Every structure is written in structure tokens, then in C-alpha cells.
Structure 1
Amino acid sequence: MRLIEKVWFNNHPAKWLLLPMLLPLSAVFWLLSSLRRLSFKFGLSKSYNVSKPVIVVGNIGVGGNGKTPIVIYLVELTRSLGLTPGVISRGYGGQAPHYPYLVNNDSTTFAAGDEPILIQQRCQVPVAVGSDRIASAELLISQGCNIIISDDGLQHYRLQRDLELIIVDGKRLFGNGLLLPAGPLREGQWRLPKSDLVIYNGQGFNDKEAKDTPKSSNLSLHMSLAATEVCNLLTNERINLTDFIMINSSVNAIAGIGAPQRFFDTLTVNKLKVINQQSFVDHHSFTLADFSAFDDNIPLLMTEKDAVKCRAFCKANWWYLPVDATFSQVEQQILQDKIKAAS
């Protein structure tokens, strides 16, 4: 974990050195973001409503909250309701030949970014990438999609939305509660009551923390991330997680996601002994040299997001652990009702 993240989430003593320098920058960030938000509210900047319903899945803080599993869940849920979904994404880190860019089976993470490739490969759903989310949405509508799911984009106020979901890491919550760069927040906690649903990812959210969370008239749901199988990068072989653990009680592990410790904790919870683990920054562009310290005789486990960037040079003993968002039946029904009302 980077030092600044320890300040944000772990109350690291370095805060006494860093916060006096960063708080003035946070004040500037607050001023600029507030002016931008007000410009849309009072019509000084124009927002646009596309011809099909839009669901925005976002967060008020930095990454690692669990947006991508929710997007995948919503793709399958909307399909079960008879809809034809498409996904739009900024495509962080990608360098597509043009924008908006329609992801296909031959697209690479270099062109589209890691999360769009993951979503397209997992769901076989149309995915459009680009900073202009309105153009991306229009492209998907022209492809026959009748509901648009925006992966991130909560603060992209140019695009009007019919349903807004805010995802919160149930363990880290809002860190020190400060705006960037002194804290992890892009918008303050006041933003939560203005969304349609707040979804807490994980079991760390407890009654005491609930009292500290801003009261709102909207609903709060709780999701879990479930892992049931592992997949081989080289052969695409799939093995039940329980069977894999019986064969391989010890593994190595890497994670280049927003909250890598969450992945390592998942392995521990599932009774896997991690011999050597290594964290990388979110959206890290992997090369074979990144894996030189690992023993090829020990299985290497990674996230599905990391796997899409490692297939070109993967080895026989490399595996990834896909995870799925899960809800109770009651909460799934709430999501269904919200989607039906929006569409």
C-alpha cells in the first residue's frame, strides 16, 4: 500500500507531515468540482439525455470499491428482464485508434483498457470506450442496445441518468473523509443521499459505522463477492475452487487492483496458504519481468482483471479467480424493481 493510502485509510502518522501540504489542494479541488457541479445544476453547462435508459455505477472515492462485479451482475440481471444491455467505460489506460471505440473479441487491453476487456470477455456484451460517454452510449444504441450501463461516470454530469448506484467499500468506507488529494474522496459523503441506491461491498460495514454514515431517504444494499472456481490463463481450464485447494494448498499471488488486500484476504479466507504475494498499482501494465521472483512450480493466482493483461505471456501454472457479486433475494428484487422503474 502506498504511503498516501495509509494516510487516507489507516491513520498513518505521516498525516501530520502530508495533510498540511495537501489540504490547500483539497480546497482547490472542492472549489473547482463545486463550480462544475453548479454549472450543470443551473444550466450553464448542458447535460444530455440519450434515447434509452442509463444506469450509472460509480463511487465517491478512489477505485477498489467493486464496481466491475456490479456492472457484470447488472448485465446478467437486465438480460434476465428481457433487455439488451450495453456497457460504456472511460477505458482508463487504453489507447484506442479512435473514439468511441467498440470493443470486440480481438481488442487488446492496450487499446481498450483492462476493465472493458474483462466485461466484454466475461459477458459477451457490447462495450464502448471513450471519454465522451454520450457518444459511446449513442454508439451502443445504434448497435441495438436498449439499456446502457455506465462503468463509473458518477461525476460525468454531461450524461443524464435514470438510475444511479454508488458502490462503497464496506471495509475501508470513506477513509479519513477528506477530498482528494488529502483524502480518497472525489465527492463528499453528502452525495450518498442523492443517489438511488448505495451498495456496500463486503461485510465490514457494521451498525456502528452505519450510525456515522449520512442518513438518506434512499436504500442501502449489501453485496458480497463470491468465488467458486479458478481458471487457467493458458488453457482456459476451469476447476472448482474446493478441488483446486485440495490439490494446491499453497500458492503465490499478485494483484494490480484498487484494493489488492481484498484479493489476498479472499485467498486466506478460502484456506489457501499464500507463500509470496505482490501488489501492483491499479491498472498496472504487466510484463513477464514482473513475475521473475515467483517459483514456476507453485501455482500463481491473480484477479480476473489482471489476467486479461497477462494472457500473451502466461505460463502453464498461472490461474485467475473470477468473483461474482451476490445479493440476498430481497435485495435482488429491489434492484429488479429499480431497473424496471427506470426502463
Structure 2
Amino acid sequence: MIERIWSGRSPLYVLLLPFSLLYGLIATLIRLSYLLGLRRAWRAPVPVVVVGNLTAGGNGKTPVVIWLVEQLQRQGLRVGVVSRGYGGKAAHYPLVLSSETTTQEAGDEPVLIAQRTGAPVAVSPVRSEAVSALLSAAPLDLIITDDGLQHYALARDIEIVVVDGVRRFGNGWWLPAGPMRERAGRLRQVDAVIVNGGKAGKGEIAMGLQPGAAVNLKTGASMPASALSPVVAMAGIGHPPRFFATLRQHAVDVIRTVPFADHQAYSEAALTALTPNNETLLMTEKDAVKCRAFAHDNWWYLPVDAHLSASAEPLLQKIIALCR
């Protein structure tokens, strides 16, 4: 239902407009308070790059963070990542992740980023505390924040917005009548707009998600996802239909799809029940980091990598120049 409302296919959004106007007023006042100097943002001693979005729901932001970290690491730069840590609850903040840190403590996305990139990662509701914790642990050339475009308490040098190229901005209204955290006009003030799927417009950077081989959660074995059959596909991400569409595009024999809420917590019993006849259970990598501890032999995940067009090169060079 919420997808129909946000996309503009349902007129019920009108009932939520008073709440949206209140949301928009508060969001605007918060931003103005920093722009006018009524509040002061904390500035890190190293450059800060924010990768965020204007809408609620999955836009492909985390794959962009991973891509950016890997690109900068190849240039010899020491990159740290900070996050709010949605879906996790640590005993204390800031929390600097280690190899033993669980998704229950840090959230799924920070654990995924740490595992994929090897970069130091810290989480905290107060991003400046996470940045300080990373800089205290090791020297870094750059900080990337996973989300946090609207967290104006942390000063930033580069702002990158990731947009779902298919859904774009829905009906254009603020939450909860629409999907917007900020209105689309905010794009005029950011440094780069990356469009995931669909068609990139003038001045935007085109991006696609390219799946790799499916990986078994328990054994680490890999094979083409199309070789798995029959498949029950599950996804607990911001926009599960994107994952299911990817599987169909790559000829995966999917007999059932099971969407979950973003940052969903899983139990062994609940996931085992999805495959009563021992079908293959195929999930996203973001789901897999929460399920490895109790994985079964028939559980697999599909990693994806962000592929950006050549127009992303000036953005990379701009970030590298800041660090040099």
C-alpha cells in the first residue's frame, strides 16, 4: 500500500499531507539553522564525503559506498567509513567494528561494508563521535559516511546523492505522504548525482548493479545463480523487487519470492520454514551477514557490485585531490 501511495498511484497520500508539511517544515528549519550559523557543524580534520539519498527506501547507496572505498584504496588512500548503524543496538557508542562485531550490535550495512572492503568502520547516532573514534584508532586520509545527507551536525566536503533511476522521487512529497526526506531541488546543491538503473539525465552519473556468482553461506562454494534450482528468493532490503528483478534478468529459476522489511532480523526457524522441500534459499549479501551463524547447506547469497559510467571519473579525481 505504501508503495502505491508514494508512487502516486493512490490518492490516499492526500490524507497524509498535513504530516508531510510538518515533516518538511522541521527538516527545512533544521537545515536553515546550520546554513545561517544558528547551529555549528563539527568539522573533521580530514575530508568527509557523504553518500546519501533524498528518499526513504533502498536506492543502492551501500554498493556505491563499497565502490568508492575500493576505488580510493586502489589509489593508496586510507579510507574510514561511519554509519548510523540502523538495525543494530550496541552496548556503547561510538562502536568501532572488529571481526567479532555482530549485526545485532552494528547493523547489517556497516558489517557488510567492513567485510567487503576491509576498511575501518565505526557506528554512532552522533556521526562526529564515530569519526573521532576512527581517527583515534588509526591515521586516515578520508572519511565516507554511509547515509547522513540530512545529518547536518557533521560538516562535509563532498555530497553524493544516489537516486533510484526507476522510481526516482515518486509523488514528490515529504514523508509520510511521499518518499522524500528533502525535496528534489536539493540536488542542485550536491556535488554528484548517481542514478541506479533507469536512465541518467544530463549531469547525472549512470550506475548499474552487476551480480557475481552465488555463494554458499555455509561452505563458501560459488556457482552461477542460474545453476541453482529451484530457488526461493528472499530480500530484506529497502526495495526487494529490485533484487527479484535481477534474478529474473539472469535466468534464475525462482519459484517464490519473499520480501522482508529493510534491516529485518532473522531467526533460523523462520528462514528454514521458507524451504520445506529443501529448495535453494537465495538471499542478498546484506541478508547473508545476519544469517551466517545459523546457515544451512541450501542457503546461498548473491553479491552485487556497483558499476559506474566513465562520467564518475571527475568525481573520483575531485575526492583524491582533496586528500592530497
Above 0.5 in TM-score? Answer: yes
CA distance in 2, matches of 1:103, 1:168: 28
The corresponding residue for 2:199 is 205
Per-residue displacement from partner, 1:33-92 (whole Å, max 9, x unpaired)?
111111101111111211001110000000200010001001111111111001000001
The corresponding residue for 1:222 is 206
The corresponding residue for 1:267 is 247
Per-residue displacement from partner, 1:125-169 (whole Å, max 9, x unpaired)?
100000111111111122222200100000011111111100000
CA contact (8 A) 1:276 1:294 kept: no
The number of residue pairs the alignment matches comes to 321
Deviation at 1:334, TM superposition (A): 2.0
CA distance in 2, matches of 1:224, 1:189: 21
Distance change >3 Å, CA 277–CA 269, structure 1 → 2: same
The secondary structure found in structure 1 opposite 2:290 is coil
Deviation at 1:249, TM superposition (A): 4.4
The corresponding residue for 2:315 is 335
The corresponding residue for 2:188 is 193
CA distance in 1, matches of 2:164, 2:51: 14
The corresponding residue for 1:281 is 261
Q: Gaps (5+ residues) in structure 1?
A: none
CA distance in 2, matches of 1:73, 1:293: 32
Deviation at 1:274, TM superposition (A): 0.8
Deviation at 1:19, TM superposition (A): 2.2
Residue type matched to 2:25 in 1? L
Choose from 295, 306, 313 the match for 1:325. 306
CA contact (8 A) 1:252 1:300 kept: yes
Residue type matched to 2:118 in 1? Q
1:42 aligns with 2:36: yes
Choose from 22, 25, 46 the match for 1:31. 25
CA contact (8 A) 1:115 1:305 kept: yes
CA distance in 2, matches of 1:261, 1:153: 25
1:81 aligns with 2:75: yes
Matches within 5 A, 1:92-111: 92-111=86-105
Per-residue displacement from partner, 1:90-123 (whole Å, max 9, x unpaired)?
0012111111100110010110000011111111
CA contact (8 A) 1:286 1:309 kept: yes
Distance change >3 Å, CA 252–CA 26, structure 1 → 2: same
CA contact (8 A) 1:84 1:144 kept: yes
1:157 aligns with 2:148: no
CA distance in 2, matches of 1:320, 1:221: 28
Deviation at 1:336, TM superposition (A): 2.0
Matches within 5 A, 1:114-125: 114-125=108-119
CA distance in 2, matches of 1:201, 1:99: 32
The corresponding residue for 2:120 is 126
Deviation at 1:181, TM superposition (A): 0.5
Per-residue displacement from partner, 1:232-256 (whole Å, max 9, x unpaired)?
11112223x2xx42x3243110001
CA contact (8 A) 2:60 2:196 kept: yes
Q: Structure 1-normalised TM-score?
A: 0.90
Q: Structure 2-normalised TM-score?
A: 0.95
The secondary structure found in structure 2 opposite 1:24 is helix
CA distance in 2, matches of 1:35, 1:201: 30
CA contact (8 A) 2:57 2:239 kept: yes
CA contact (8 A) 1:255 1:302 kept: yes
The corresponding residue for 2:171 is 176
CA distance in 1, matches of 2:246, 2:190: 29
Residue type matched to 1:12 in 2? R
Choose from 6, 28, 33 the match for 1:8. 6
CA contact (8 A) 2:6 2:13 kept: no
CA distance in 2, matches of 1:132, 1:146: 21
CA distance in 1, matches of 2:275, 2:14: 40
CA distance in 2, matches of 1:135, 1:237: 39
The secondary structure found in structure 2 opposite 1:290 is helix
Deviation at 1:341, TM superposition (A): 3.1
The secondary structure found in structure 2 opposite 1:310 is helix
CA distance in 1, matches of 2:282, 2:13: 36
Once the two structures are overlaid, the 10-residue window that deviates more, 121-130 or 182-191, is 121-130
CA distance in 2, matches of 1:293, 1:83: 43
The corresponding residue for 2:279 is 298
The secondary structure found in structure 2 opposite 1:191 is helix
Residue type matched to 2:207 in 1? M
